[in-house]
Amino acid sequence: TGFVGMALSYGLSLNFAFVVSIEMQCKLANQIISVERVNQYMDIQSEAAEVVEENRPLSDWPQNGNVDIRDLKIRYRKDAPLVLHGITCRLEGGDKIGIVGRTGSGKTTLIGALFRLVEPAEGRIIIDSVDISTIGLHDLRSHLGIIPQDPTLFQGTVRYNLDPLGKFSDQQIWEVRCTHLCCFFSSYTMIR
Ligand SMILES: Nc1ncnc2c1ncn2[C@@H]1O[C@H](COP(=O)(O)OP(=O)(O)OP(=O)(O)O)[C@@H](O)[C@H]1O
Ligand SMILES: [Mg+2]
């Protein structure tokens, strides 16, 4: 009976050792995967230049907002099929345009193309006579605005949410006069 007792006692502690050992193995596997990911990310081709010095748009570009899309073809990967098959259209500045289509038809892709999230396989987008593929990504993206469907507020003040990069003075922000915003806030003495 002494032998059985000893076997049971060792057996039970073995159970615990198994749990710890499997936990350790999983942790190790996860950490090795992290290294693998970093290795993988190091080989990702980087995006185009932030700023192309010899070709910078004017500070007030786009003046009108005429968007001229010419035979735009987009695919997500070299060997993948085309998502946009040659779109040609002209959007006049100031117009309100709705883009409709079934799910997966490429609406988001088209908007992404304006910001060059994916580079076109063929074709061009010209905004107020600037071919957007010729300017730097920072210049392009900082001159266009997007209002997402779902409102997002960052943690912080209202002022920070209106101007997260701190590029405008308080005076300029007041001048924008978003509907109702001024009436709402002028009852408070400070917008900070
Ligand atoms: N990052 C991506 N990598 C590869 N293929 C993608 C990627 N994003 C979208 N696609 C493919 O491109 C096609 C168009 O997708 P897109 O998201 O532009 O459609 P959508 O019209 O915005 O759809 P939804 O109405 O669902 O938002 C789909 O076939 C989709 O599978
Ligand atoms: Mg979409």
**Per residue, what are the HEC states of the chain?**
CHHHHHHHHHHHHHHHHHHHHHHHHHHHHHHHHHHHHHHHHHCCCCCCCCCCCCCCCCCCCCCCCCEEEEEEEECCCCCCCCCEEEEEEEECCCCCCCCCCCCCCCHHHHHHHHCCCCCCCEEEEEECCEEHHHCCHHHHHHHCCCCCCCCCCCCCCHHHHHCCCCCCCHHHHHHHCCCCHHHHHHCCCCCC
Q: What is the pLDDT of residues 129-140, one digit of tens each?
A: 999 999 999 999
Length of the chain: 192
Q: Whose atoms come closest to the Cα of 100: which ligand?
A: 1
* Dist. CA 153 → ligand 1 center (Å): 26
Rounded CA separation 126/135 (Å)? 11
Beta bridge partners of 130: 127
- Going by C-beta distance under 8 Å and a sequence separation of 6 or more, which residues neighbour residue 27? none
Residue whose tokens read 């996860």: 30
Q: What is the pLDDT of residues 139-191, one digit of tens each?
A: 999 999 888 777 788 888 888 888 888 888 888 888 776 555 555 555 544 44
pTM score: 0.71
Q: What is the pLDDT of residues 32-62, one digit of tens each?
A: 999 999 999 999 888 888 889 998 999 888 8
Residue whose tokens read 């992404």: 112
Q: Which atom of ligand 1 is nearest to the CA of 109?
A: 18
* Dist. CA 138 → ligand 1 center (Å): 24
* Dist. CA 104 → ligand 2 center (Å): 7
Pocket, ligand 1, Cβ cutoff 6 A? 76, 83, 101, 103-109
